[in-house]
């Protein structure tokens, strides 16, 4: 990276503050989760996964809500301000990664506590569906076309997803209640939380939320610049075409 690129800045005071907060919190989570907090009475050391799993799950669901709300804002705003669309897209990109990490950590936690990497309980199944839905949303964003088309299509898809996810969750809930295993499989039901555990968990949730906010703000700015470059390139191409025809006309004269 050359000096000019290295010095070009995307940060603002807000993002610097949020970034600092998230670094501090995540350090706290690592120290607290791995060293300071005690073993759980029932789960032993396995509970340490919770300090990472719960925050990533929280962020994954938060990202989904942010995408949905930003999509609704885009649709409802008179000017169709593109900032909303970019936030929706950035949030979904971060969300899909956190959703995948949630499933991974949950799966490993389940391996320790229940003995299997997966179970068809409603929460897990809905989470897996959310992941696939995110992937579909991102694929729709990649379909091309004008920025307005991208925004409109993805906004509709995001809001349809808001309708679909509760339906999926409810159906799976009804379905699994036929098999009556739900209560056995809640990994966190038997955890006794003491002071340091609760604090670490809370710091984790707040810290990961700050990380999410930082990532979305920066990613949104990157998208803004990418969109601007796309428009500039379009302008340049149009001007070249116009000059071409001008030259030809001059040549004929």
- Measured from the CB atom, the residue of 174 and 246 that comes closer to another protein is 174
Write down the least CB distance from residue 69 to another protein, Å: 17
Enumerate residues 134-163 that contact another protein by CB under 8 A. Answer: 135-136, 139-140, 143-145, 149, 152-153, 156-157, 159-160, 163
Concatenating the DSSP letter of every residue in 45-100 gives: GGGGGHHHHHHHHHHHHHHHHHHHHHHHHHHHSTT--HHHHHHHHHHHHHHHHHHH
CB contact at 8 A, 203 and 32: yes
Q: Distance (Å, rounded) from C-alpha 180 to C-alpha 162?
A: 27
Task: Assess contact for 129 and 168: CB atoms under 8 A.
Answer: yes
Q: Which is nearer to another protein, 58 or 214 (by Cβ)?
A: 214
Count how many Cα atoms sit within 13 Å of the Cα of residue 200 in the half-sphere of its side chain.
24
Q: Smallest distance, Å, CB 101 to another protein?
A: 5
Nearer of residues 102 and 185 to another protein, judged by Cβ: 102
- Residue numbers 3-62 binding another protein by CB under 8 A: 4-10, 12, 26, 30, 33-34, 44-46, 48-49, 52-53, 56
Options 66, 172, 185, 197; binder of another protein; rule CB under 8 A: 172
Q: Which is nearer to another protein, 91 or 105 (CB)?
A: 105
**Non-local CB neighbours of 4 within 8 Å, separated by 6+ positions:** none
Under the binding rule (CB under 8 A), the answer on residue 167 touching another protein is yes
Considering only residues 25, 127, 133, 200, which one is a binding residue for another protein as defined by CB under 8 A? 133
The reply to whether 170 sits near another protein by the rule CB under 8 A is: yes
Please count the CA atoms within 13 angstroms of the CA of 91 that sit on its side-chain side.
Answer: 25
Does 236 help bind another protein (rule: CB under 8 A)? no
Measured between alpha carbons, how far is 34 from 253 in angstroms, rounded to an integer? 81
Q: Running DSSP on this structure, what letter comes out for residue 185?
A: G
β-partners of residue 44 are 40
Of residues 126, 98, 106, the one with CA closest to residue 216:
98
Task: Work out how close the CB of 177 gets to another protein at its nearest, in angstroms, rounded to a whole number.
Answer: 11
Subset of 66-125 contacting another protein (CB under 8 A): 83, 94, 97, 101, 104-105, 108-109, 111-112
Nearer to another protein, 34 or 36 (CB): 34
CB 247 to another protein: min, Å = 27
Q: Which of 41, 132, 234, 242 binds another protein (CB under 8 A)?
A: 132
């Amino acid at each position: 990276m050359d000096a000019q690129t290295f010095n070009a800045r995307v940060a603002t005071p807000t993002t610097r503050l949020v970034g600092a907060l998230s670094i501090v919190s995540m350090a706290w989570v690592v120290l607290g989760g791995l060293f300071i907090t005690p073993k759980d009475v029932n789960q032993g050391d396995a509970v340490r996964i919770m300090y990472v799993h719960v925050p990533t799950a929280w962020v994954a669901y938060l990202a989904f809500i942010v995408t949905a709300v930003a999509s609704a804002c885009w649709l409802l705003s008179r000017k169709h301000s593109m900032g909303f669309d970019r936030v929706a897209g950035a949030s979904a990109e971060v969300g899909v990664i956190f959703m995948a990490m949630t499933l991974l950590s949950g799966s490993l936690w389940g391996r320790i506590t229940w003995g299997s990497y997966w179970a068809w309980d409603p929460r897990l199944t809905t989470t897996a569906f959310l992941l696939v839905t995110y992937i579909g949303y991102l694929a729709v964003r990649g379909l091309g076309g004008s920025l307005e088309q991208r925004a409109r299509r993805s906004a509709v898809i995001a809001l349809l997803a808001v309708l679909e996810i509760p339906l999926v969750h409810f159906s799976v809930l009804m379905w699994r209640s036929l098999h009556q295993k739900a209560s056995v499989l809640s990994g966190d039901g038997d955890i006794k939380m003491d002071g340091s555990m609760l604090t670490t968990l809370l710091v984790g949730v707040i810290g990961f939320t700050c990380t999410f906010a930082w990532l979305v703000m920066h990613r949104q700015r990157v998208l803004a610049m990418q969109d601007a470059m796309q428009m500039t390139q379009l302008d340049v191409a149009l001007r070249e075409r116009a000059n071409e025809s001008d030259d030809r006309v001059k040549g004929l004269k």
